[in-house]
């Protein structure tokens, strides 16, 4: 089949060096390495270290030092005999000889060292357990491969997890041996055969008991411009769910010391066994069969979608098999996918301590494999609060109607928008509104998307002076009752609102005089913290928050026609903890705000200057519980609990605004400069009155 459109493998002599492992030795087998992404294993240091792979073949010889120190002399065994011309059988005890041309090539495809002498195996640090199964017939000068069943059983009884066999031929004994191997968690990686048949040669000896213990390998052409099964290769057939494809021609070191091409399903098989060894070198907690499951599930799909009778599950992919598959973050109780996790930190809080804590986290993937890395990049600080202030002002700038009679006054804002050319394709929407009613000592008021409490809110660019809006700008619908008394009024107000999937409710009790307001508020949020969405999954900062806040607002004259307003608040916030999050607790979070604004008559209009410290977290911390390592003995994550400060940097914002107008029209402009980041914002509006 043709590769995907645009898929090209650059010839080796034109490919730039990509890493220290992309050596001339690596490039001797360039095509096969590129097809299967083998460089990723070398770069990631997944090279089969500390893993024993049994090679069942006609023997293994260490040629040119390619297997120096990596043939297990204690476990390796010669099962064969020398058969004299008269039929006399003599037990042989030699792991390899000049006749071991097949097994030596197989072993070097699997594990040849990165030593600059020849070629690099797909698991260059794996240890070979050479299981020689060939008898030598002196009369015919030929090998007879009689002992495969014994070798498989031997590997099973010695706890070897990966067995590579590039030999075919089965029997009831083969079935029993692979069943025993399966019972230990071991995996037999077996060549499909070079007979061009519809099924792997040994398929008839596979049953329900040993099926999970066998992984067959078919051979692909090494041609760089297509995915094509070799004509000689048996196909996946009835074993399509237990078969993968690998490149059938590899440049390797041969028994005579030469470097050349070794082809067949025999050549494809050790590359798959090597990948299993690479997996186990990093994750020894897995069984051989689990390593096989990883290989099957990450193979690159070829042919018909899903498993098919030709390619089985597809081409083995080293990178896909060694990279995490749906990694999950855990707090020791629950797990959540990394891909669906993000932490959204309110502007008022600091994110640095959280990012530092989350820069070294251990996660598990779907196969129980542990990976350690950073998720600090998933901690973000969206700037939604400023956007909401500007949106609020834009909504207030639309058409409005005012009405008053008796003790009632009200204002209603609306906008008419065209969404098509037709006469009826016009939509009118309510944008803002407020009303107040006073009767004797009792007053009632309600508002939706109403103005802030400052005399001039600088077009919505200045921080909110109203404490509730500073914490939860989405709570823009309010209803209140005031009781007028001598010297002032006692008020009770309820505020609520929804935005971005969050909800906020607040109750405020206050005492007001002509120049001073004192208020205490209780704020409850769900789905947000200080007006900011809390994130998702295991990194969610919380389900919401509860805040107790006290604030004051005072105004007084400072010169003829000029007035100075000041406000400030202190609040204590506690997070609502999400059981699925790494944030498993928090202290009380102290927040403060402060602002001053001077407003007066100048230049034929109303001019204002202000300075403010927006809501900022002074102190408080979140408790984080997350994995920081893996315990092989218990096969579980090692958890750490730490505190991360939520204190934010103190910010300073300067504002100026101007408004002028008459009966028929009005004009307003506002500007704000954030001293912390040097940014400047401006907004202007003009209203016509009809």
Q: Is 102 a catalytic residue?
A: yes
Both tokens assigned to 39: 């460089």
Of 76, 100, 263, 266, the catalytic one is 266
Both tokens assigned to 423: 């006469």
Q: Is 135 a catalytic residue?
A: no
Both tokens assigned to 351: 């994110």
Is residue 362 within 8 Å of residue 582, measured between CB atoms?
A: no
Q: Is 57 a catalytic residue?
A: yes
Which residue reads 């004051």 in tokens? Answer: 552
DSSP 483-518: EEETTEEEEEEEEEEEETTEEEEEEEEEEE-SSEEE
Both tokens assigned to 572: 């204590």
User: 483 pairs with which residues across the strands?
Assistant: 442, 490
Cα first-last separation, the chain: 72
Of 76, 100, 102, 317, the catalytic one is 102
Both tokens assigned to 476: 């823009």
Of 22, 57, 365, 457, the catalytic one is 57
Both tokens assigned to 134: 């060939």
3-state helix/strand/coil string of 584-612: EEECCEEEEEEEEEEEEEECCEEEEEEEE
The angle, 0 to 180 degrees and rounded to 10, between the axes of the packed helices 148-157 and 172-183 is: 20
- Give the span between the Cα atoms of 588 and 468, in whole angstroms: 18
CA dihedral of residues 570, 576, 580, 582 (deg, nearest 10): 30
Q: Identify the helix (H) or strand (E) that includes residue 198.
A: none
Q: Strand pairing of 370-373 and 361-364?
A: antiparallel
Handedness of CA 253, 257, 262, 267 (dihedral sign): negative
CA 384 to chain centre: 24
Would you please indicate which residues are annotated as catalytic (active-site) residues?
57, 102, 266
């Amino acid at each position: 089949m043709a590769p995907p459109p645009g898929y090209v493998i650059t010839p080796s002599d034109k490919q730039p060096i990509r890493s220290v492992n992309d050596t001339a030795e690596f490039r001797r087998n360039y095509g096969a390495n590129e097809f299967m992404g083998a460089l990723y294993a070398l770069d990631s240091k997944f090279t089969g270290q500390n893993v024993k792979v049994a090679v069942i073949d006609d023997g293994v010889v260490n040629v040119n030092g390619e297997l120096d120190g990596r043939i297990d002399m204690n476990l390796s065994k010669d099962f064969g005999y020398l058969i004299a011309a008269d039929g006399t059988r003599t037990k042989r005890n030699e792991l390899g000889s000049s006749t071991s041309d097949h097994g030596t090539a197989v072993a070097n495809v699997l594990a040849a060292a990165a030593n600059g002498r020849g070629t690099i195996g797909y698991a260059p640090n794996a240890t070979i357990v050479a299981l020689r199964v060939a008898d030598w017939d002196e009369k015919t000068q030929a090998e007879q491969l009689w002992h495969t069943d014994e070798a498989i059983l031997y590997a099973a009884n010695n706890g070897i997890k990966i067995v590579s066999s590039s030999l075919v031929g089965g029997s009831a004994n083969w079935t029993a041996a692979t069943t025993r191997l399966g019972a230990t968690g071991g995996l037999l990686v077996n060549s499909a055969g070079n007979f061009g048949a519809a099924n792997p040669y040994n398929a008839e000896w596979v049953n329900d008991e040993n099926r999970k213990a066998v992984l067959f390998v078919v051979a692909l052409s090494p041609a760089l411009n297509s995915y094509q099964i070799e004509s000689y290769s048996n196909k996946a057939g009835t074993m399509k769910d237990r078969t993968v494809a690998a490149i059938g021609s590899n440049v390797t070191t041969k028994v005579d010391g030469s470097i050349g091409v070794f082809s067949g399903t025999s050549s494809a098989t050790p590359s798959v066994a090597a990948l299993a060894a690479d997996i186990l070198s990093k994750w020894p907690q897995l069984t051989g069969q689990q390593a096989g499951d990883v290989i099957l599930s990450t193979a690159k799909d070829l042919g018909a979608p899903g498993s098919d009778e030709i390619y089985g599950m597809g081409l083995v992919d080293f990178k896909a098999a060694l990279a995490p598959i749906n990694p999950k973050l855990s707090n020791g109780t629950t797990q959540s996918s990394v891909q669906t996790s993000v932490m959204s930190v309110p502007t008022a809080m600091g994110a640095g301590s959280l990012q530092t804590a989350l820069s070294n986290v251990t996660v598990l993937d779907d196969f129980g494999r542990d990976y350690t890395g950073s998720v600090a990049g998933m901690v973000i600080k969206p700037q939604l609060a400023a956007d909401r202030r500007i949106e609020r002002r834009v909504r207030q700038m639309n058409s409005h109607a005012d009405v008053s009679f008796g003790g009632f006054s009200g204002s209603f804002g609306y906008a008419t928008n065209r969404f098509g050319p037709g006469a009826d394709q016009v939509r009118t929407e309510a944008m803002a509104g407020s009303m107040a009613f006073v009767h004797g000592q009792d007053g009632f008021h309600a508002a939706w998307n109403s103005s802030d409490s400052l005399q001039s809110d600088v077009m919505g660019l200045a921080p909110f002076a109203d404490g509730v809006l500073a914490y939860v700008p989405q709570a823009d619908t309010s209803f209140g009752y005031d009781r007028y008394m001598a010297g002032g009024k006692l008020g009770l107000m309820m505020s609520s609102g929804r935005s971005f999937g969050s909800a906020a409710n607040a109750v405020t009790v206050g005492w007001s005089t002509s120049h001073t307001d004192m208020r205490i508020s209780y704020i409850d949020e769900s789905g947000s913290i200080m007006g900011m969405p809390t994130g998702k999954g295991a990194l969610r900062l919380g389900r919401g928050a509860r805040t107790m806040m006290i604030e004051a607002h005072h105004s007084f004259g400072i010169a003829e026609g000029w007035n100075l307003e000041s406000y400030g608040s202190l609040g204590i916030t506690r997070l609502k903890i999400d059981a699925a999050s790494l944030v498993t607790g928090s202290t009380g979070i102290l927040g403060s705000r402060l602002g001053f604004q001077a407003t007066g008559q100048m230049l034929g209009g109303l001019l204002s200057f202000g300075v403010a410290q927006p809501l900022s977290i002074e102190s408080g911390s979140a408790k984080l519980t997350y994995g920081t390592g893996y315990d092989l003995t218990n096969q579980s994550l090692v958890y750490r609990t730490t505190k991360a400060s939520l204190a934010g940097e103190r910010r300073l914002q300067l504002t100026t605004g101007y408004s002028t107008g008459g009966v028929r029209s009005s004009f307003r402009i506002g500007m704000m400069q954030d001293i912390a980041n040097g940014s400047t914002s401006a907004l202007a509006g003009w209203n016509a009155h009809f």
